[in-house]
Amino acid sequence: MGISAMGQDAGEGRRRIAISRRVLLASVSLLTLGVSHSALGHIYRGGSLPWNPGDTDPPVQVLPGPWVYFTAAEAAALEAIVDRLIPPDAAGPSGKEAGCAVFIDRQLAGAFGDSRRLYMRPPFAKGTPSQGPQSPIVPKELYRISLAELSAYCRAKFGGKEFAALTVAQQDQILGDLENSMIQFKAGNGSDFFNRVLADTVSGYFADPIYGGNRDMGGWKMIGFPGARYDYRDHVAKHNVPYPLPPVSILGRSGWSVPG
């Protein structure tokens, strides 16, 4: 083979490599985007992109109003529960005062309640505590079933009284029995329900007020948390020094006014 022929073969080889590389990069790009050739043709022939510029998924503010998921009886029981988990004292508001039951109600009415963003296919083997919930029963079902069984238990044990109508001592006794799995529910151990309510109550107490809990940022004020302030540069080096400014929610804080 002559030198010129070898040069031509080498040139063809480089061109094939370049073409193959372009094809490979284009294929990888399409796979990364998760869009087929036909879908791309459909999108761009229509003259628009498959998304809106600046599109976001911001949290929706919880507004005062009726219960969204709970019935009135369920809500009364839950408000009594969160008020015993976080009772009122001089340090801060109680669970009910902070709106923890409202927070839980709105969460159960949304994606959290039906676990729509979690992998929920069987098998559901019993896992370790560090693995989180391993059950086909989603949170809103756990609340509905457990609150109904709690109501039946209280009425049977205390002469027809509901949990909300019991004395504080009686409520604390029941919650302690739930925590220690001394009360069994059809949906599982009483401790499963107790741990779920406790975790959700704490979340509601310290979540941003936009979600319905932490009313007036009482939870944040109690621990000195500054909230959603955008700039802490003046205080980064001030260790063990309380932050001097009041907390701010995603929505701002009371007392602020926005020019019309």
Q: Which residue has the tokens 């009772």?
A: 87
- Residue 38 pLDDT exceeds 70: no
pLDDT in tens, 8-27: 555 555 555 444 544 444 44
- Report percent pLDDT > 90 for the chain: 47
- Kindly report the pTM of this predicted structure: 0.73
pLDDT of residue 37: 45
d(CA 117, CA 237): 39
The predicted pLDDT at position 60 comes to: 77
Give the pLDDT band (50/70/90) at residue 175: very high
Q: Say which DSSP state 92 is in.
A: B
- Residue 213 region, left (φ>0) first, then alpha (ψ -120 to 50), else beta? beta
Q: How large is the greatest C-alpha to C-alpha distance in the chain, in angstroms?
A: 106
- The pLDDT of residue 19: 47
The pLDDT, as a whole number, for residue 229 is 83
pLDDT number for residue 26: 46
Q: Indicate if the pLDDT at residue 252 is higher than 50.
A: yes
How do residues 105-141 score in pLDDT, each as one tens digit? 999 999 889 888 888 888 888 878 787 777 888 999 9
Report the alpha-carbon distance of residue 210 to residue 208 in Å, rounded: 5
Measured CA to CA, the distance from residue 89 to residue 248 in angstroms comes to 23
The C-alpha atoms of residue 43 and residue 41 are separated, in whole angstroms, by 6
- Looking at residue 35, its pLDDT comes to 45
- Say if residue 165's pLDDT is above 60: yes
Q: CA of 105: how far to CAs of 64, 75, 113, 224, in Å?
A: 12, 8, 9, 27
Contact 124/102 with Cβ under 8 angstroms? no
Segments making up each domain of the chain, as ranges: 11-45, 72-224
* Whether the predicted pLDDT of 77 surpasses 70: yes
Distance from the Cα of residue 60 to its chain's centroid:
13
pLDDT value for 20 = 52
List of E strands, the chain: 184-185, 188-189
Over range 84-99, report the average pLDDT: 94
Q: What is the model's pLDDT at position 44?
A: 44
